[in-house]
Amino acid sequence: MRGQRTGTALFVILLWIGSPAGGNPDTVGAEPDRWADYNTEGLKAYRQQHYEQAIQLFHDAISSLTPDSQPHAQEAMTLNNLAAAYEGLGRYDEAELHYLKSLTIVEQIQGPNHPDLVLGLTNLGILHRKRGRPAQAERLYQRSLRIMETVLGEAHPHLIPPLLDLAHVSQEQGAFGRSEDYYKRALKIGETELPVAHHQTQSIRMQYASLLRHLNRSEEADDLQNKARRELRSPEQDELGE
């Protein structure tokens, strides 16, 4: 994860949803080979920034699925990919619509608190931030974090990226106290759950220090930055190879 993620997230277009209960993701939807071919070609076009071509291929992928009264996992995947392609073109209304459609299908298949929702919630949150809607983004990030906490507990290193997202979006709204709380929690997880001198912990320190400097708390910011720099130069960091 990058620092303050506001750009189109290339990682969004992965086949990320689980199979429906009692179903096989390779067979649900009747035309799996055609769907997979269209979707794969769409991903290639997206990565090459050929967004119009990607959009057509993703539409073809959805059209290849046999109509069914039950929601398709493949449709949710492709809608998510389609949203990313529209986002790449700056067609944000259409991107938002397709992210929402994808999330709706995931909820229908997996329920409202399943980990498969996390990626879509995060992507939609990123889009809201790009559109200048930090409060809406924060609500999505909070929901994503709650789901992850339910699955992983409250101190897993995988919670660090969503905590940083929340710190950034809170800071954008001028909610500096809330932002600091998120940084503190992320830093505590990094210090207790990651190896000593891990680069992610140092990144948290540097970002937290930036907030403190903005609040004219320069001495605290200097302490954090100096500790981060010392640990980045430490032998332990060399051993990590990161």
Catalogue all structural domains in the chain, each as residue range(s) with its CATH number.
1-131 (1.25.40.10), 137-242 (1.25.40.10)
What's the length of the chain? Answer: 242
pTM of the model: 0.82
The amino acid that residue 36 corresponds to is: A
Profile the chain (242 residues) by mean pLDDT over runs of 10 residues.
Answer: 38 36 39 86 97 98 86 92 97 98 96 94 97 97 97 96 97 97 98 92 96 97 94 61 46
Query: How much is the pLDDT for 234?
Result: 65
- Alpha helices in 111-175, H assignment, sequence order: 117-130, 134-152, 160-172
Token look-up 């889009």 returns: 127
DSSP state of 157: G
Query: How much is the pLDDT for 131?
Result: 96
Widest CA span in the chain:
63
The rounded distance, in Å, linking the Cα atoms of 152 and 69 is 33
The amino acid that residue 45 corresponds to is: A
Cβ distance 134 to 169 under 8 Å?
A: yes
Query: How much is the pLDDT for 70?
Result: 79
Q: What share of the chain is helix, strand, coil (3-state, %, to 5)?
A: 70, 0, 30
DSSP state of 131: T
Inter-helix orientation angle 134-152/160-172, to 10°? 160
